[in-house]
Amino acid sequence: MLLCVAVAIVRMKDLLAVVMLLGVYGLLSASFFVTMDAVDVAFTEASVGAGISTVLMLTTIAMTGRNESAPPYKHLLALVLVVMTGALLVYGTMDMPYFGFAEAPANLHVAPRYIQDSMAEVGVPNLVTAVLASYRGFDTFGEVMVIFTAGLGVLALLGLAKPPKDGDAEIDLLHDKLHEQHLVLRVVCKMLIPFILLFALYVQFHGDFGPGGGFQAGVIFAAAIILYGMLFGLSTARRVINQPLVLLLSGIGAMLYGMVGVVSMLKGGDFLDYSVLLSDPIAGQHLGILLIELGVGITVASVMVIIFFNFAGRIEYLQRKRSRDKQG
């Protein structure tokens, strides 16, 4: 299945279909991850790979047009290189331990401690969260900074100095137009959005116990806002979402994560050593993980919103420019 979809993606010329297939691909790999017992990864893949990135690519297509122009010449050398790389990868798998092999080095060295002792040392039932937020918490801090960087990067390239401000009359006009086009969608979504937000909060705070955590929750939370922006128009969404504030929030989320680390340093531990946060090490770990997951959630959600608003804002800007050119 995955292979079929991948081949189809490469062969297709209609970019809209390609994006849709990419979404399918994301969802398929998510289910693939579920069968491999990597539920948290599947969750992330489903929300990011199949969800947000599809939306972002659709907005890009809205700007660039939906047909792929044929390449001027065929890159034979590139094909040879790709085939060689692929062959090398297959060659490398030949000596790999079988999937699920209990004696594989990956299962014998570091992992047993994560599995056996994380409950006693970190005290959260979801051991993925224990590894991600505590044992390797510094990597996760790095990842949050990667996302923050991505948000800043988009802003640096696409950011408009002043987003157009619409008067009430224009917003009403836009409302009527959208209302006619997407009546059913709008009604359904209006009912769904509160539940999506609630679900995001559940995923956020339940990450210690079940699959979930800041990354997934942030994306889901952002999805609700993006949905609103798509169906009710950017100007309406801008009234609810204050963009400079969202930018500030993306920084604050990252700072929150870092500050937990700094506080643990001030309390005499190493950076991100949550055990020293409270007198009881396990309670300290709980508090630390709760706070950093919150930081992750805030940053992820606000960066997703920033990226969407700037992509979509660009379309709006181009449309307005075009209509102004026509008039002028």
Residues that bind other proteins (CB under 8 A): 88-89, 91-97, 104-111, 113-114, 134-139, 142-143, 145-146, 148-150, 152-153, 155-157, 159, 161, 247-248, 250-252, 254-255, 258-259, 261-262, 265, 269-276
- Indicate the residue among 211 and 253 with the shorter CB distance to other proteins: 253
Burial class (CB in 10 A: 0-12, 13-18, 19+), 245: exposed
Give 171 or 265: the residue with its C-beta nearer to other proteins: 265
CB of 101 to other proteins, least distance (A): 11
Q: Which residue from 148, 156, 144, 174 is spatially nearest to 238, judged by alpha carbons?
A: 174
Q: What are the distances in angstroms from CA 187 to CA 173, 174, 263, 310?
A: 18, 16, 46, 26
Give Cα separations from 186 to 195, 272, 305 (angstroms): 15, 44, 20
Residue whose CB is less far from other proteins, 210 or 251: 251
Q: Which region, left, alpha or beta, applies to residue 268 given φ > 0 means left and ψ of -120 to 50 means alpha? A: left
Tokens of 94: 């030949």
Closest distance to other proteins from the beta carbon of 94 (Å): 5
Q: With the C-alpha atoms ordered 205, 218, 31, 193, is the resulting torsion angle positive or negative?
A: positive
Of residues 20 and 121, the one with the C-beta less far from other proteins: 121
From the CB of 278, what's the least distance to other proteins, in Å?
Answer: 14
Least separation in angstroms between residue 248's CB and other proteins is 6
Shortest spacing between CB 292 and other proteins, in angstroms: 11
CB neighbour list of residue 110: distance below 8 Å, 6 or more residues apart? none
* Closer residue to other proteins, CB minimum distance, 195 or 271: 271
Identity at 130, one-letter amino acid code: A
Nearer to other proteins, 62 or 265 (CB): 265
